[in-house]
Structure 1
Amino acid sequence: MPGKHQHFQEPEVGCCGKYFLFGFNIVFWVLGALFLAIGLWAWGEKGVLSNISALTDLGGLDPVWLFVVVGGIMSVLGFAGCIGALRENTFLLKFFSVFLGLIFFLELATGILAFVFKDWIRDQLNFFINNNVKAYRDDIDLQNLIDFAQEYWSCCGARGPNDWNLNIYFNCTDLNPSRERCGVPFSCCVRDPAMSSTLSVAMMSGSNWSWSSRAPSTPKAVWASLRSGCRTT
């Protein structure tokens, strides 16, 4: 009818913003699915999927948990962002933005609490590192993670090399039958600039440096050749 104007509802999300958000979340979703797949594959290789109780048997941290948890969160967020942007679903977009905001505030709160309760955090970190030192040989992924951390941060144990006495394989007692007795992992050793290989404190035992019969009964006398504790770096 003349004089009557038709009003068209404008899209709630702009075209450029819509496809940018969709593309970003596709990448986010794929990465999350990849992380999750790697985690599940690693658990399958270790027989965890066929024996769920194995998840609680490990005394230390299983690094695969990081892939599974992070991958799961990224997959859910990426899916919500993709569908929300493509279908202009405000509920999914709000879920996506609220979840991201929640993660940000959790990180902020964690940083503030870590500063306020730094002594308690230090003690918990010391306890956490020593628990993983005890479980060093129990899981190959944990072993690789500890070696990487000690090499990357140039440290050894929580307080120092003597923490490796907590591990049944490296424990420095006469009753310990292990070939690695009184030793430390290779990642604890300092590289000598004058040598092309990692500095040997005494002799090679397996894949780790250990003290020979000529060395003192405890590692303390040769600590100068080893890294300091990870907690103090």
Structure 2
Amino acid sequence: MSGKHLKGHEVSCCIKYSIFGFNIIFWLLGVAFLGIGLWAWSEKGVLSNLSSITDLGGFDPVWLFLVVGGVMFILGFAGCIGALRENTFLLKFFSVFLGIIFFLELTAGILAFVFKDWIKDQLNFFINNNIRAYRDDIDLQNMIDFTQDYWECCGAFGADDWNLNIYFNCTESNPSREKCGVPFSCCTKDPAEDVINTQCGYDVRAKDDEEQKAFIHVKGCVPQFEKWLQDNLTVVAGIFIGIALLQIFGICLAQNLVSDIEAVRATCLFT
């Protein structure tokens, strides 16, 4: 074998194992996400009664694990096997699928910037829809509590959004002990307390607006999320740019390996 052919062979091996290493991590992460999602579903009895999927009134966070895990598993599998077996079909599938995801992310980013008000309305609708289903699913409940606690907010645009929930609304016919209250995640924290008081939001909305401020966060999660984005714009932009560069890097590696494989096969045909 000549020096030129040997050098080309070394470059192909380098690209091949770079793609394999690049994808094995995503493949393993995909397996982990799928495992977590399926375990969560089995704990809730969804796997034994698939019709219960349609009974969920709000967003089930488990879907996020399943969708992300499924995409990562398929991409990682195609990239790993395509690189090791020098399968150009799988490598092209990997690069095209990754390119489509990159294009969708770019489009979503542009549309989110152009239609900011529409996105805000949809976020408001999404949060309020999940407020209605707060007690229906433990994972959804944990997601809402985490959101309200992290961003120090309550409801979509204020604590009164919890009137949408049958347990927290202030109607005379509501027999719930949580009537005119809010979840504990809306409460302001006392640094001296080690144990969370899950009843801190009881009857708080029966007080006037000024009194409520002493017990709960009165700002909504939509404006608090907007404020968080503005305060952390550099970090958020850096994360998205980093993800985009990784995707471009993966596409370039796959395309280079496909070109090398096709070049070697073409050489073999003429020798």
The question of a shared fold, defined as TM-score above 0.5 by the shorter chain, is answered with: yes
2:200 corresponds to 1:209:
yes
1:157 to 155, 158, 164: 155
Count of aligned positions: 219
CA RMSD of aligned residues (A): 2.4
**Distance 1:168-1:61 versus aligned 2 partners, 3 A rule:** same
**Distance 1:61-1:219 versus aligned 2 partners, 3 A rule:** farther
Question: How big is the shift at 1:218?
Answer: 5.3
Distance 1:42 1:220 in 2: 39
Distance 2:205 2:66 in 1: 44
- What residue ranges of structure 2 are gaps of 5+ in the alignment? 225-271
- The equivalent residue for 1:222 is 211
Question: How big is the shift at 1:219?
Answer: 5.8
Distance 1:137 1:13 in 2: 57
Distance 2:205 2:15 in 1: 68
2:233 corresponds to 1:231:
no
Give the secondary structure class of the aligned counterpart of 2:46: coil
Q: Structure 1, residues 15-44: CA drift from partner, whole Å, max 9, x if none? A: 122112112211211110111111111111
1:28 to 26, 34, 57: 26
Q: Structure 1, residues 118-150: CA drift from partner, whole Å, max 9, x if none? A: 111111110110000111110000000111111
Question: How big is the shift at 1:12?
Answer: 9.9
Q: Structure 1, residues 32-84: CA drift from partner, whole Å, max 9, x if none? A: 01111111111111111121121111111000000111110000000000011
Residue pair 1:190, 1:198 contacting (<8 A) in 2 also: no
- What residue ranges of structure 1 are gaps of 5+ in the alignment? none
Q: Structure 1, residues 187-227: CA drift from partner, whole Å, max 9, x if none? A: 1111245x43689xxxx6xx332345xx6735634332322
- The equivalent residue for 1:181 is 179
Give the secondary structure class of the aligned counterpart of 1:184: coil
Residue pair 2:205, 2:212 contacting (<8 A) in 1 also: no
Give the secondary structure class of the aligned counterpart of 2:213: helix
**Distance 1:162-1:197 versus aligned 2 partners, 3 A rule:** farther
- The equivalent residue for 1:196 is 193
Higher relative contact order (Cα pairs below 8 Å, separated by 6+ residues): 2
Q: Which amino acid aligns with 2:213?
A: A
Where do 1:9-48 residues align within 5 Å?
11=9, 14-48=12-46
**More helix, by proportion:** 2
Q: Which amino acid aligns with 2:73?
A: S
Q: Which runs of 4+ in 1 moved over 2 A?
A: 7-13, 195-199, 207-212, 215-223
Distance 2:202 2:143 in 1: 24
- The equivalent residue for 1:54 is 52
Distance 1:147 1:38 in 2: 20
- The equivalent residue for 2:249 is none
Q: Structure 1, residues 87-133: CA drift from partner, whole Å, max 9, x if none? A: 11122112111111111111111111111111111111101100001
Q: Which amino acid aligns with 2:131?
A: V
Q: Which amino acid aligns with 1:190?
A: T
**Distance 1:198-1:172 versus aligned 2 partners, 3 A rule:** farther
58-67 or 215-224: bigger deviation: 215-224
Where do 1:61-140 residues align within 5 Å?
61-140=59-138
Task: Name the % identity.
Answer: 68
**Distance 1:30-1:8 versus aligned 2 partners, 3 A rule:** same
